Structure 1
Amino acid sequence: MNNVLLRRQSQPGRHRPAAERFGFTMVEMLVVITILLLLMSITIYSVNYARDSERVSGAAGKVQSFLSGARDRAIYNRKPIGVRFFLDSDDDPGAGTGQRRTVSAMYYIDPGQLWSDGAVRLHRWDPDFNGRTNFPSSGNNPDINGDGVPDNPGLIWMVAGLKENKWWELKRRGLLVDGIRIRIPAGPTGTWYTVDTRFIDITAPPPLTQYLVLQIPYADPGDTDVRRSDAFELGGPENYELELPASILPNEPALMPDGVVIDLDGSRLPLAWRPSALNGANFSQFMDIVFSPRGNVIGAPASAGVIHLYVCDQIDATILKDEYISHLPGATLVARLVDFETKVRSGVGNFVPADEIDSGVVANSWNSGLSDPGEPFLPKDRRLVTLFTQTGSITVNMINPTDVFDPFDLDGDST
């Protein structure tokens, strides 16, 4: 009995195993969640950045391919084919400009025909139609073409046509519009001029004489006394050609990706497309690029040499512009837009912002509402589609907006 007790006492002790762990501590869970949230944020940011870059670069490639398609069709069909850029109906419902200043749709077009019915007479500036040149009594010349610069009324600005020219009927049908071109005299020896139709009133019966206004004066000053509006006694040009608007070909429009536009204020465009006070500071409704069967650009845009189309994010194309224009001097929106356009035309440059716009640098200036002081406003990706009109070649390039490309000092560094 004692031996049994001794053996039991000599046996090694049995210890209860420690409790097993089935989860994480609170600290470990918080660390894991923090890491997951950080990775998720980085992933979402990277995806959004890549999508923004792809949207803009894809849109630029779409513009390039659409222009190239028109060029190829013109060469293949051995007839001129073009592309028309349509102004957006409204940049942004909350935009301060309230104007149409971007493009997000394109159509293929068949160039318009020439109209040459009747004959013309050339006149100096005579808005009263009394046969006398209208020299202002105050000595301040009028701004005839709406470019903000006084013009000489003693030059030839008006083209008169009789009822048989049928200009009134053309305007009533929507075929004679501001911005179309007239060649005087007709044929290859003539010169093209852009016209506006302010003196043709389709709400009244057609008058015996109808007038078009040239946007630049006629090359010949005439041979009569400068006080007479009729510029030529004998031998003046009588034949002409009006280039009627193009017709849209039966195709679906090419639309830019959602949220991407061609910003016309950041683009280099033919002068005839640009705004003026006469059209309410709007861009032309007939922004047409037409390719010849040889592949080069013909018509008014050909003289531009190079056309740059600035493709960017829609928000960047509106919010910066609205902030800038709203702080320009001018009692009305049109006055501020004309001032803005004058800056562009005077060589200040196009509206292309820098990569970072620090609103804190100019906290009391135009862009104070873009972001909190010290927090830079960062424009998204952008591209430049370049068309060389003499050859018809089209390229897409990235933009490196240093101060050279920031003529409006959007970054606020005063340089």
Structure 2
Amino acid sequence: MKRDGLLRSERLRGGYTLVEILIVVGILVVLLTMTLMTVRFTRDGDRVTAAAAQIQSFLAGARDRAIYARAPRGVRLFLDTNNPRTVSSMVYIDPSESWSDGVVQLRRWDPELDGRTNIGGGNVDINQDGVADDPRNVWMVVGDGTAWWELKRRGLLFDGMRIRIPKGPGGSWYPINTRLIDITNAPPTTQMLVLGIPYRDPGNTPVERSQAFESGGPEDYEIQLAPRILPGEPASLPEGTVIDLDGSRIPDAWRPSSTMTGGGTGNALYSQYIDLVYSPRGSLMGDAASGGVLHLYVCDREDSVLLKEEFLKSLDSDLAKAADLFNASLQSASGGLKFIPADAIDPGSVAWAAGLGTAGEPYNVRDRRVVTISGQTGSVSIHLVNAGDGDSSGSNPPNGFADDPYFFAETGETAK
């Protein structure tokens, strides 16, 4: 009888109570949540690290190709279609030869210097800032036997390309506008390009002269044609990662000079031809070489978009005007703003970040890297961002941006 009671008691104690089950489930939920958060954090960090490594590998590949082929080779960075302030893919390129057929003369848009537009018709706004330029400061390149019409029809000549006058190391480079070449009509004998900036006359040139070249002066030129894309699919950066050009140190030739339409859309457009070209010696050449040491800021796409939107709101309620102010700050004489945020941005102490949350709960910026390219050696390295913002003394209050973001890149401290 006693034994039957013990057996019955053991059978009754064989299961778990509801409270015990709930405790176990709660523990499992906590562990699962912690695991998912850890995996997500690691994955986000790995994406940016992988993107930086991919850029490094791609550039190193172009350098090796140039040395092996004993000819210039390079990489073109493609602007993201949804956000033209960032880069999301790249491809190998083969720089084309320059074009120098025919002879040229330079003439003023207003040859009579009377303030009236006598050639080309209508007012001219070369830099598309919405304000007509003084026609006395606008020069046209008038070509004979240059075949520019054919080049434009084939898509090899377009606005923003560069012409050097005169040809060779002694000449100066100028951006060009092809508005006077109409490919819908038959090609004329004389074809004209418009210089994007005034022609650099010698200091003793008479102001009233309407032609840049004296009789017997230089009449040769060269146009730098766009590089040829090499066979192969463009390499896309890992999903959710970009090169943020607003946070990068790049040549001025790649920077936006005006808004996209000139009417103030607020969407500044970087150059469509961001090319890093290596010489057969392994060093950078062209626009990229003029920048000395380049720093490409690789970050999370969401951070790039969200933080910039909040900052623009703080500049002006009119987003078009805000973007113009933002562009001006990027191009200021002091080196310009580098849009690289601090690691943690407190909405309570940083005015422009008020919309990111509540005071005392910082917005934590995701992982990012700096890819550095040396113009002289062509070497490529990856570095952490020095995200320090302000100091404890209060003399330099935090503003939400890294004070010296390229410090590790400039001191040679590589990222792990």
**What TM-score comes out, normalization by structure 2 length?**
0.81
Amino acid at match of 2:382: V
In structure 2, the CA distance between the partners of 1:200 and 1:327, relative to structure 1 (3 Å rule), is: farther
Alignment of 1:123-202 (within 5 A): 123-124=107-108, 126=109, 129-132=110-113, 134=115, 145=127, 158-202=139-183
Tell me, in whole angstroms, the C-alpha distance in 1 between the residues paired with 2:283 and 2:381.
15
Instruction: Assess if the C-alpha contact under 8 Å between 2:389 and 2:402 holds in 1.
Output: no
1:15 shift after superposition: 9.1
Give identity over the alignment, percent: 50
Which residue in 2 is equivalent to 1:381?
367
Give 5+ residue unaligned stretches, structure 1.
Answer: 1-12, 92-99, 137-141
Instruction: Assess if the C-alpha contact under 8 Å between 1:118 and 1:165 holds in 2.
Output: yes
Deviations 1:105-141 (A, max 9, x none): 11101101211112222345x3xx44437499xxxxx
Asked whether 1:104 is paired with 2:88, we answer yes
Instruction: Assess if the C-alpha contact under 8 Å between 1:270 and 1:301 holds in 2.
Output: yes
Asked whether 1:23 is paired with 2:9, we answer no
Tell me, in whole angstroms, the C-alpha distance in 1 between the residues paired with 2:105 and 2:317.
39
1:199 shift after superposition: 4.2
Give 5+ residue unaligned stretches, structure 2.
Answer: 118-123, 262-267, 391-395, 404-416
In structure 2, the CA distance between the partners of 1:203 and 1:276, relative to structure 1 (3 Å rule), is: farther
Instruction: Assess if the C-alpha contact under 8 Å between 1:222 and 1:231 holds in 2.
Output: no
Amino acid at match of 1:342: A
User: Aligned-residue CA RMSD in angstroms?
Assistant: 3.4
Instruction: Assess if the C-alpha contact under 8 Å between 1:180 and 1:194 holds in 2.
Output: yes
Instruction: Assess if the C-alpha contact under 8 Å between 1:197 and 1:211 holds in 2.
Output: yes
Instruction: Assess if the C-alpha contact under 8 Å between 2:65 and 2:73 holds in 1.
Output: yes
1:61 shift after superposition: 0.3
Deviations 1:283-339 (A, max 9, x none): 111111111110011112211101111111111111111222244338563x43332
Asked whether 1:79 is paired with 2:84, we answer no
Instruction: Assess if the C-alpha contact under 8 Å between 2:389 and 2:400 holds in 1.
Output: no
Which residue in 1 is equivalent to 2:224?
243
1:342 shift after superposition: 1.0
Alignment of 1:5-404 (within 5 A): 16-17=5-6, 19-20=9-10, 21-91=13-83, 100-124=84-108, 126=109, 129-132=110-113, 134=115, 145=127, 158-203=139-184, 206=187, 208-215=190-197, 217-221=198-202, 223-277=204-258, 279-280=260-261, 281-329=268-316, 333=320, 335-346=321-332, 347-362=335-350, 366-403=352-389
The alignment of Structure 1 onto Structure 2 pairs a total of residues equal to: 381
Amino acid at match of 1:181: R
Amino acid at match of 1:389: G
1:205 shift after superposition: 5.5
Which residue in 1 is equivalent to 2:410?
none
Tell me, in whole angstroms, the C-alpha distance in 2 between the residues paired with 1:134 and 1:37.
77
Tell me, in whole angstroms, the C-alpha distance in 1 between the residues paired with 2:146 and 2:398.
46
In structure 2, the CA distance between the partners of 1:48 and 1:332, relative to structure 1 (3 Å rule), is: closer
1:143 shift after superposition: 8.2
Instruction: Assess if the C-alpha contact under 8 Å between 1:385 and 1:395 holds in 2.
Output: yes
In structure 2, the CA distance between the partners of 1:354 and 1:241, relative to structure 1 (3 Å rule), is: same
1:23 shift after superposition: 2.2
* Secondary structure of the corresponding residue to residue 169 of structure 1: helix
